[in-house]
A and B are shown apart, each in its own frame.
Chain A
């Protein structure tokens, strides 16, 4: 089955800095890669996703890049703000299954 590795497990940055979270996947058939943000005690919320026919996608301060050859994808957050502090999960799934395999999460702490 699919295996998703996520790094780092904890990321501490100063407000205004950029943050990068990286994930690798094992199944070359995976073609959908969502990112979720989970604040303490709350539900995971889909913040951005990318499909395998696209190399990069941006939405305001967040962007995701995908390297299919290397089987890795990354989340980039620019101009971080304290409200960006949360646990971020990457996931990978493939058509026909639509069941995402999640990484173990990255705790992002943005210091004011």
Chain B
């Protein structure tokens, strides 16, 4: 039974570029949430996808957008990258309205 997977593991981008991160949820899960974790901080909620729609959104600018596919996998897109976007991006999956979330290994994004 595969857990949550994310790709790529690491990514280096230049300011102003765009990036796409990918997440596959744990088998049987249909809800995907994305978090940004800056160094030394707790994860900060970006948004959550359920039934291919954005269900909840945190306090992040429109430069952050996402998508969920019919197979429940998800993408996080960030446009016009800033140095401050450098962080570990975590994906977490859950089933329907259940509270328990399971995290993926994350994608380390470095913006230079």
Contacts and interface: CB of A to CB of B under 8 A. Distances in A.
Interface of A: 6, 32, 34, 36, 42-46, 49, 89, 91, 93, 95, 97-105
A44 B58 contact: no
A93 B90 contact: no
Nearest to B45: A99
B99 interface: yes
Contacts of B103: 36, 43-45
Interface stretch (B13-21, B35-43, B78-86): B35-43
Contacts of A49: 99-100
Contacts of A103: 42
Interface in B57-112: 58, 90, 94, 97-106
A98 B106 contact: no
Given A43-B104, A97-B56, A99-B48, A104 B99 contact: no
A45 B42 CA distance: 13
Contacts of B102: 46
Nearest to A97: B56
B53 to A, nearest CB: 15
Contact of A99 (B40, B56, B90, B104): B56
Given A43-B90, A43-B104, A43-B105, A98 B99 contact: yes
Q: Give the most central of A95, A97, A98, A100: most B CB within 10 Å.
A: A98
A87 to B, nearest CB: 9
A1 B28 CA distance: 31
